[in-house]
Amino acid sequence: MPSLTLADLQAHLGGTIRGDGNVLLNGAASLEKAGPGQLGFLLGRKFLEQARASAAAALLVPEVLAMSLTEPLPQACLVVANPHACFARALALLHPEPMPAPGIHPSASVAADCSIDATARIGPGCVIEAGARIGAHCVLGPHCVIGAGASLGYACHLHARVTVQHGCVVGDRAILHPGSVIGSDGFGLAWDADPGGGHWLKVPQVGRVVVGDDVEIGANTTIDRGALDDTVIEDGVKLDNLIQVAHNCHIGRHTAIAGCVGIAGSTRIGTYCQIGGAAMIIGHLEIADHVTISSGTFVAKDIREAGTYTSVQPLMRHADWLRNAAHLRHLDALAKRVKTLEKQIADQPAPTTPMERP
């Protein structure tokens, strides 16, 4: 684990030092657990007393909070405008992920005509098929599979058991977490009627998945290859665990999607969108840029304007839900009755003389 002074962190993160810039740091921790040599993170005013009592050697402090303090904190501080982003960068500096030495593990199966940069690290049990390309400084964890003709860019990190199917392309600095699958077949089926009752025919999926730069894909997330055209994940997209992206989808740059979201085929999602966990999006939809979709929302039509969209009932007691569900079953009949009553009222002749006051 590296040791950095607070001044070293300032050189990487910017900001202003208050106190001793020579404080030595070898890690980061919560305010409660931090000890000597560790950096703490003061998120807001409600944690101020906890910060004063913390044994952290130094604190990362929001600029707006530091300006309002009437007395200094006991620790050395690095005051920054965006503390959350700076803390993420500080964690990466103080807790770098261990990297194995470059080379190919003896148990890996590597096709003779694939291209592997000399700086890449290929873990045990990996399979790299014909014509695949592995870029400089890539790391492949145990039992990864790179299909024929697939390509990984610069400094990609594939954790254990990642599969990149044939012909798919992954850009630079991608992070693919354990069990993720890039380029599985889309759910393409055609019904073939016959005297025996008919059966499903598989529609060959001949497109690819094209993943841009700086994309992160969570554990056991699957992205299906296109049926004819490519499924596209643009630069900077962040996908959580257990997400299903169906064939021919297009996800715009810097969109973030939380776990257990399902996206049906041929849906286009704009740039800078945020989609909450367990949202469901049906196929062939267009979602505009800068759209936020709340957790658990069911999206069944296009969203053409930026904004936040929600369609989920609040929690209620089960007995109340049963009564409301019973009413909901009769909602169409009730709407027809209201429409009939409105027409009857509209058809009544208007009074010919003014009504007398009582």
- The domains of the chain are located at 4-94, 103-309
What digits encode the pLDDT tens for the residues 261-297?
Answer: 999 999 999 999 999 999 999 999 999 999 999 999 9
What pLDDT, on a 0 to 100 scale, did the predictor assign at position 353? 63
Q: In the predicted model, is pLDDT for residue 354 greater than 70?
A: no
Domain made up of 103-309: CATH architecture:
3 Solenoid (2.160)
Instruction: Say which of 137, 157, 177, 247 is annotated catalytic.
Output: 247
pLDDT confidence bin for 19, thresholds 50/70/90: very high
Judged against a pLDDT cut of 70, whether residue 355 lies above it is answered with: no
**E strands present in 81-154:** 103-104, 109-110, 115-116, 121-122, 127-128, 133-134, 139-140, 145-146, 151-152
CATH architecture for the domain at 4-94: 3-Layer(aba) Sandwich (3.40)
Quick one: the chain helix, strand, coil %, rounded to 5? 15, 30, 55
State how far Cα 51 lies from the chain centre: 31
Least confident residue range of 216-225, 315-324, 349-358: 349-358
pLDDT in tens, 53-98: 999 999 999 999 999 999 999 999 999 999 889 999 999 999 998 8
Can you tell me the mean pLDDT for 210-221? 98
Q: For residue 222, how many other CB atoms are within 10 A of its CB?
A: 17
pTM as predicted: 0.89
Question: How far is Cα of residue 306 from the mean position of the Cα atoms in its chain?
Answer: 19
* Token pair recorded at residue 272: 């800078």
Asked if 226 and 245 touch (Cβ cutoff 8 Å), the reply is no
pLDDT per residue as tens digits for the range 320-349: 989 998 998 999 999 999 999 999 998 888
Domains 4-94 and 103-309 share a fold: no
- Which region holds residue 12: left if phi is over 0, alpha if psi is between -120 and 50, else beta? alpha
Whether the predicted pLDDT of 161 surpasses 60: yes
Q: In the predicted model, is pLDDT for residue 200 greater than 90? A: yes
Q: Is 247 a catalytic residue?
A: yes
Query: Which neighbouring-strand residues pair with 190?
Result: 201
